[in-house]
Structure 1
Amino acid sequence: MVEKIPLENGLILEIWNYSRKIAGDRWLVGFLAQIGITPSEKDFSNSDYYQKFLEKTDGKVYYRYRKERHFVPEDSVSTIYSNIKENFLKAALPYLSHPDFKERLLKHEVKQFEKQIDWEEEIRRKDEETEKLEELWKDKKIF
Structure 2
Amino acid sequence: MAQLIRELPLENGLTLCIFDHTRHYFGDFHLVKLELTCEISLSSAPFDNAAEREAAQRLLGAAAVYRRFVEQMGVPTADVQPTVEQLIGNFTTHSLPYLSSPDFARRFVSAEFERAHKKKSRPTMGYAAGRHD
| TM-score (norm. length: structure 1) | 0.74
Q: What is the DSSP-based 3-state SS (H/G/I as helix, E as strand, rest coil) of the residue aligned with 2:36?
A: strand
Higher relative helix content: 1
The one-letter amino acid of 1:123's match is T
Partner of 1:33: 36
Gap regions ≥5 residues in structure 1 = 136-143
Aligned to 2:74: 71
Deviation of the 1:42 alpha carbon: 4.1
Instruction: State how far apart, in whole Å, the 1-side matches of 2:97 and 2:12 are.
Output: 11
Name stretches of at least 5 consecutive residues in structure 2 with no aligned partner: 44-49
Residue of structure 1 equivalent to 2:100: 97
Cα 1:42–1:102 change in 2 (3 A) is farther
Equivalents in 2 of 1:90, 1:80: separation in Å? 15
Question: Structure 1 counterpart of 2:79, which letter?
Answer: S
1:86 maps to 2:80 = no
Give the counterpart letter for 1:37 in structure 2: I
- The share of aligned pairs that are identical, in percent, is 28
TM-score by length of 2: 0.79
How far the C-alpha of 1:66 sits from its partner, in A, is: 1.1
Q: Structure 2 vs 1, CA of residues 3 and 43 (structure 1 numbering), >3 Å: closer, same or farther? A: farther
- Asked whether the equivalents of residues 43 and 106 of structure 1 are also in contact (C-alpha less than 8 Å), the reply is no
Cα separation, 2, equivalents of 1:14 and 1:85: 11
More strand per residue: 2
Match of 1:139 in 2: none
Residue in 2 that maps onto 1:138? none
- The answer on whether the counterparts of 1:37 and 1:62 sit within 8 Å (CA) in structure 2 is yes
Q: Following TM superposition, by how much is the alpha carbon of 1:51 offset from its aligned partner in structure 2, in angstroms?
A: 2.9
Structure number with bigger Rg: 1
